[in-house]
A and B are shown apart, each in its own frame.
Chain A
């Protein structure tokens, strides 16, 4: 994929990262294509979440480089950078003291959006995520897990970020709700195409949603490519075994 003419959305170059002296990535090279959904799959502990946090600067590499849309990551103004990178996590992390509306609007309010624009964007997101406007006044503990997950996605997408990082963002709900959230998310991606990096250990989810797949083992990338290609020609036995765990 390094041969793509336009710059990769995300590029890791000779990246090293260690935790408490234990090396995790040792010279990782990886490039993710823009304007599509990339799914990152791999066993627990292989470094998927770390990868996402290296993209939004929550973690810094010990050596090597992270480039976003061709630019080296600017660690000097992370809040500014992160407002262009939506971020949603498995535990959702809605702020319990804020209503659904305030959770969704928190960044836009910091950005000083006018009320009308704010309201219009929230309505649009609710429609696309199939959330009732009546939920807006409720607190996070007053809505269901599936609704909370979609609210988390709304918060991540409020500022229309060109890059969206989803760390197991669909996994806290039952399969039926998950299917519904998937559908809504795909509809939204069609309406507002953006670069999405989706971390999951659900191979079925990855196959269903992804345009591009990254298969990982602890500290390394085993194979990248379209889901179809990887399914057709797994690079090695580990990839094949991982794909079998799917549906």
Chain B
């Protein structure tokens, strides 16, 4: 009888797994990225403010040249944005020559022509620089600097007690902290921080020094001071459009018209328009382009936040929904398959538990080399994350089903599938639902991090807001995410009421 039951279960499981796979594959295929459309150019940007602003300038320039433009700003750090370009998720984004040379191409920075030649080998082009040099710099509060009489980076060697917090990217880059430290023989060891958080930390005095960009509008706004690079360590970071080589030539021509239009002073002023006056990127970009005669008149700079919110919410639901569905479709059959064998069940729980211990942001980052950026890697990461609560709940649920009832169900003549459908599943349902509910809530929270790898969702305003020091924007993502979690709780509550008779519901309450 064991063997018979096992065959029927195996058949049922195989069918479920297949159905699940088809469903997921179908839904992923049905939601392709939007950049495939002819005549549409997708402009990306990293998560920082200047990136957004330059991206918006590129976008409006291309729109003025008659192209339809899709904006995918705030993709994350260099590696994510660069990969997005390489994989055709975006067609161009603003990059800096220093970053391109050191972090991407792995060469010593040289003239634009050299970089362009190297980029062509990767199917990319480097267009002429916009004008300004946004190099790295170290910055600290002006008052503090004056008190300690610090003006130059070399002055820092006399103050080993000063705490330094730098962005993770700066911390690791060859042309960032490691080289800086050895060039100046700096005694401090820095913390790695998110850039926006580092600024805040400096303002609040919890750290003293952080890395900055020389055109950052916030430097003046927060009354920070740039420390002089007296040993000439930092390379030049000229802003350029980094574009896919197959971009239509009218688009290339339009972008070339931006060459040399932005010097450092102007760029800092534009950045400050956004950071201290709180104007939208679109409005600042439109004003600048109109002044330069690139666009004919001022575009209506419409606030897109509420409009984006709907899209973000839908993206978020898709991310979490697909990942959760996938986790159920894999996790539930897996649990059914292993729950009778304590050793197998323990190993499955062990592996799922191991996945859970990987910090979510690290798991997302691990997805990049495997699956690139965007929705797919995010869904896979969220799927892996949901697996543990679902598998653990399912195995527990199945083990708590009274074996007598299963024996009776089999003994009176229910087939394996019927036992599952009419006896085992309903009895396991309270615990199962609890596990799926936990997974859903975890998912909704974790999915906000998916924006770091360009998957969109409610994390997009959060990540952007963090990098722009715009806490209102953070709330635009955080509040709906919290409401979504609450709504999900209520939905599961309702589902429980529908699916589980009252007396079984009560007993399963903890």
Interface of A toward B, CB cutoff 8 Å: 53, 56-60, 75-76, 78-83, 85-87, 89, 91, 93, 95-98, 106-107, 110, 139, 141, 155-156
Contacts and interface: CB of A to CB of B under 8 A. Distances in A.
B414 interface: yes
B427 interface: yes
Contact of A59 (B1, B405, B422): B1
B414 A106 contact: yes
A82 B412 contact: yes
Contact of B501 (A82, A97, A106, A156): A97
B423 interface: yes
A110 B418 contact: yes
Interface in B394-441: 404-405, 407-415, 418, 422-423, 426-427, 429
Nearest to B410: A58
A89 B402 CA distance: 14
B504 interface: yes
Contacts of B427: 95-97
Interface of chain A: mostly helix, strand, loop or mixed: mixed
B412 A87 contact: yes
B1 A57 contact: yes
A52 to B, nearest CB: 9
Contact of B422 (A75, A83, A106): A106
B414 A79 contact: yes
A87 B408 contact: yes
Give the secondary structure class of B's interface. helix
Given A76-B4, A79-B413, A93-B404, 6 more contacts: A80-B413, A95-B405, A95-B426, A96-B503, A97-B429, A97-B500
B503 A89 contact: no
A81 to B, nearest CB: 8
B415 A79 contact: yes
B454 to A, nearest CB: 45
Interface of B: 1, 4, 404-405, 407-415, 418, 422-423, 426-427, 429, 500-501, 503-504
B412 A58 contact: no
B483 to A, nearest CB: 33
27 contacts: A53-B411, A58-B1, A58-B407, A58-B410, A58-B411, A59-B1, A76-B4, A78-B413, A79-B415, A79-B418, A80-B413, A82-B411, A82-B412, A82-B413, A83-B412, A87-B408, A87-B411, A89-B404, A95-B423, A95-B427, A96-B427, A106-B414, A106-B422, A107-B412, A107-B413, A141-B503, A156-B412
A47 B147 CA distance: 93
B413 A93 contact: no
Given A59-B1, A78-B1, A110-B414, A89 B408 contact: yes
A91 B404 contact: yes
Nearest to A156: B412
A98 B408 CA distance: 14
B405 to A, nearest CB: 6
Nearest to B425: A97
A155 B413 contact: no
Best-buried of B407, B408, B411, B429 by chain A (most CB within 10 Å): B411
A107 B1 CA distance: 19
